[in-house]
Structure 1
Amino acid sequence: MTGFVSKVFSKILRFINRGHQRSVKAKKNIIASFLIKGISILIGFYMVPLTIGYVQKEQYGIWLTISSVVAWFAFLDIGLGHGLRNKLSEAIAKGEWKKAKIYVSTTYVILGIIFLLIFALFFVVEPWLNWQTILNTQSVEQGELRLVAITTFLFFCVNFVLRLIDSIFYAFQRPAFKGFINLMSNVLTLSIIIILTHTTEGNLLYLALTLGISPMVVLFAVSLFMFNSEFKSIAPSIKYVKRSYFNDLISLGVRFFLVNISVVIIFATDNMIITQLFGPSEVPAYSIAHKYFGLITVGFSFILVPMWSAYTEAYVKNDIDWVLSVVNKLKKAWMVLVVIAIILLAISKPFFKLWVPEIDVPWLLSVMMCIYVIVLSWGNIFVNFVNGVGKIRLQMIVGIIGTIVNIPLSYFFGEILGLGSAGVIGASIVSIAYGPVLAPIQFKKIIKGTASGIWNS
């Protein structure tokens, strides 16, 4: 038995260490990400019923809605996170370490200023907002909702700046480190919620504080450690902040910024739309289905995420054969993913009853969510490459169109046709047409060198 295990282990090691250095690094990160994220997913699944038990169903729906609304402000980074990822990847590929340090320093300072101003503006405007109307609820007092909203927004701003360390890990083709940060945040969050359930009554503000403080502590500690060790050569410094490099970052960042706006509106408005059309009590069912079938996109992202910066490096070095080889393997992986998605759909009903018996997830919602993750994953194979090489103008334009039609379609499918929350996700499927339809065409054009005009900008 020991000999058999040893042989299997040896074959796994040979597989991991076989191939191009870029592929070897990607495989190591993919495996590490699966292990780390697997634990995070288990924690996340356990945390949902625990959290619902602590604050009850409607309050949990309220917090989900507030956090999704706050997430809309992610686009106000004007694409600097993605811009840093691509520009830093290029600098690393060329060995330009001083330029890399300038990019990192400039991005931290600019993003810090942006989110400081955003929070100041929010603090001024917030007293004029009626949160009970916005969230369509009377079960929680306006004063408590205000505190929850301010707390959630404050930690969002701080954590968004701290999360630039994720872009740096991506640029170094080490996405597993981001997974480690999320795992540590989830462990700390779970620990605090367990303590709260035993020491306090359900409190929405305590939940908001917990879900804000936990990632902040972990992100700050990891950033401090990395910038004083392995990333010391590119650690942010005021001396290396250069306005001229900001133009370099912003030219690419603005395009990512517009893409992010469309992504945020298409993906993050679903909770708000459901709240307004059907009430906050319907949000948990949508969230449960999204988390369950999201296992597909999360699992596939383990493979895709390391490739973004790897594509950047390969494109800079004109290594087209490697790109084609990777994309062909990803297509095969997607076919396996489709089978897994169908299996998850088949067992979804009994699984939901076992996992969260107090939440009824409609069968139609499960079917639409299954279709959604399959379509999204297919498109992401090609979108990832397009993002990596920075040819995102077409994606930007189609994304804006998708943004415009998403909310009217959600209303039409959900309310007029009576499909409920399933209609809302149906609108999202239509709105993400760029990925599954146009991105494969653009990919072929870029690879063959025939891309021109909007396809190559």
Structure 2
Amino acid sequence: MAAQGVSLIASLLIVRVMAQNLGVAEFGLWLTLTTALAMLGALDFGLGPAVMTQVSEARGRGDLGEMQRVVSTAFFLLSSAALIVLAVSAVLTSTIDWNTVLGVGNEVPHPLVRELLFAVAAAIALSLPLVIARRVYYALRRAHVLALFTVLAVALQGLGVWGVGAITSDIRWFLIIYLAAWLVADIATTLLLRRSIPELRPRLCAIDRRTAGRLGKEGAQLFFLTLVSVVVFQSDAFIIGHYLGVSHIPEYVLPFKIFVLVPAFAAMFLTPLWATYREAWTRGDYRWVRSAYTRSVAFTAAAATLMACLLFVGARPLLRLWMGNDAVVPSVEMLAALACHVIVMCTSSAVSVLLKGLGVLRAQYILGAVMALLNIALSIWSVTRMGICGPLWATVATQTCVVLIPSMIYASRRLSTHHTCAQTNGNAVPAVKS
């Protein structure tokens, strides 16, 4: 929670500094780039989450050798992927008219837009092998270590952007500082893991073809789920920018940044459960999994509803305090849409974490694919008729009907089946000591 608090303060500072130093078009471009970074930074081809779940499973069996094979194989797979991402990014940024795609027009020079996009893509590529350390810490239930380095990264970002703003208003320097801070934190996390747990250092001799196959299969499924999530939850800003113009992006993104505190709060509790579900399921502790899932869904839904209601009332004063008297005041309809959006998002996340932890992926990506297609179609249709609120209501409707309700039914049936089998067979599988 302390790390989230520091992240919040730093993000508020950074956006305020950028709004003061950049023009309207460049500020909209900055928000688009940072949104793209959040989107694409999660696209580690699913290998990061696969590492977390498979390390947790091996830990449940007490198999240190398997843990090392998973980490080593994933590290070299992601290092190879980083080279491919760099090459593809160089081609795409130089051949596509990104000013038109992003709705920037001629307000920002074309070469500058290409440079900024390639810088974001290069930072994402360099960070790919480094995500393994973060996932391993989650699998080992040491998320507090990640929190410390999150504080380091956002503190460097905030101080760096503030310092650059006092010297220049060149968006390139702002982006360099912003990206470098995250890379420094990721490198530090990786080095600490290598030093504290030498057995998990990546080694060529530990690369295993069978492990690569398992990682590739589970990673591909998780990658598809992540891609669907990105399309569903992060595409609204691009749709608004493309159809309404880049100058309308701050009107959507700034209130969203306040409401996104709700899922950020929920993620602090839900993300560690992902690995713990897998470890407990491997040990045969089905009763605990069922109990933890029930509590997590109930707590997440209740807490998200309470926080969303508070933000519905307090978002306007917070925006004025944050951005000054020039802040765009969102309408009541938009505040209601954002509140419903984050409540549904948090509750869906609580259910999805269980299914991912248990390795139930096929049902999720089928439902996710259907939702993504419907969501994009409804968002495009609604943005030209309802304005900025249209994509939000489209996401709320499609996620509730297509994903949340069917996933809850499926999860309940899965847990009930294993709970009944455990009672029929007597005692659960005894736990294995690590």
TM-score between the two structures when normalised by the length of structure 2? 0.91
1:408 to 348, 354, 377: 377
Sequence identity percentage: 22
Q: Which residue of 1 aligns with 2:271?
A: 305
Tell me if the contact between 1:88 and 1:100 (Cα under 8 Å) persists in the aligned partners: yes
Query: SS in structure 2 opposite 1:296?
Result: helix
Tell me if the contact between 1:101 and 1:235 (Cα under 8 Å) persists in the aligned partners: yes
CA deviation profile, 1:247-266 (whole Å, cap 9, x unmatched): 01112112112211211111
Q: Which residue of 1 aligns with 2:306?
A: 339
Which residue identity does 1:134 align to in structure 2? V
1:292 has 2:261 as partner: no
Query: SS in structure 2 opposite 1:236?
Result: coil
2:287 to 297, 321, 327: 321
Distance 1:72 1:46, change over 3 A: closer
2:103 to 136, 148, 165: 136
Tell me if the contact between 1:266 and 1:431 (Cα under 8 Å) persists in the aligned partners: no
Distance 1:125 1:327, change over 3 A: closer
Structure 1 spans left out of the alignment, 5+ residues: 1-33, 452-457
Q: Which residue of 2 aligns with 1:64?
A: 31
Q: How many residues align?
A: 414
2:150 to 161, 173, 182: 182
1:159 to 121, 127, 139: 127
Q: Which residue of 2 aligns with 1:41?
A: 8
Which residue identity does 1:335 align to in structure 2? A
Which residue identity does 1:209 align to in structure 2? I
1:390 to 342, 352, 359: 359
Q: Which residue of 2 aligns with 1:281?
A: 247
Indicate the larger mover: 234-243 or 323-332.
Answer: 323-332
Q: Which residue of 1 aligns with 2:52?
A: 85
Indicate the larger mover: 422-431 or 258-267.
Answer: 422-431
Take 1:197 and 1:74, find their aligned partners in 2: how far apart are those partners? 25
Which residue identity does 2:124 align to in structure 1? F
Following superposition, the deviation at residue 108 of structure 1 comes to 0.9
Following superposition, the deviation at residue 402 of structure 1 comes to 1.3
TM-score between the two structures when normalised by the length of structure 1? 0.86
Which residue identity does 2:413 align to in structure 1? K
CA deviation profile, 1:115-164 (whole Å, cap 9, x unmatched): 21121122123221222212222221111111111111111211233122
Q: How does 1:50-449 map to 2 (within 5 A)?
A: 50-69=17-36, 73=40, 77-137=44-104, 138-200=106-168, 202-229=169-196, 231-330=197-296, 331-357=298-324, 358-363=326-331, 364-415=333-384, 417=385, 419-433=386-400, 434-449=402-417
Following superposition, the deviation at residue 432 of structure 1 comes to 2.5
Q: CA RMSD in A?
A: 1.9
Query: SS in structure 2 opposite 1:347?
Result: helix
Take 1:101 and 1:314, find their aligned partners in 2: how far apart are those partners? 20
CA deviation profile, 1:165-208 (whole Å, cap 9, x unmatched): 111111112223223222211111111111111111x1111122
Which residue identity does 2:248 align to in structure 1? E
Which residue identity does 2:75 align to in structure 1? Y
Take 2:299 and 2:185, find their aligned partners in 1: how far apart are those partners? 36
Tell me if the contact between 1:36 and 1:176 (Cα under 8 Å) persists in the aligned partners: no
Take 2:418 and 2:58, find their aligned partners in 1: how far apart are those partners? 26
Following superposition, the deviation at residue 376 of structure 1 comes to 1.2
Which residue identity does 1:305 align to in structure 2? T
Structure 2 spans left out of the alignment, 5+ residues: 420-434
Which residue identity does 2:340 align to in structure 1? I
Tell me if the contact between 1:286 and 1:361 (Cα under 8 Å) persists in the aligned partners: no
Following superposition, the deviation at residue 74 of structure 1 comes to 5.2
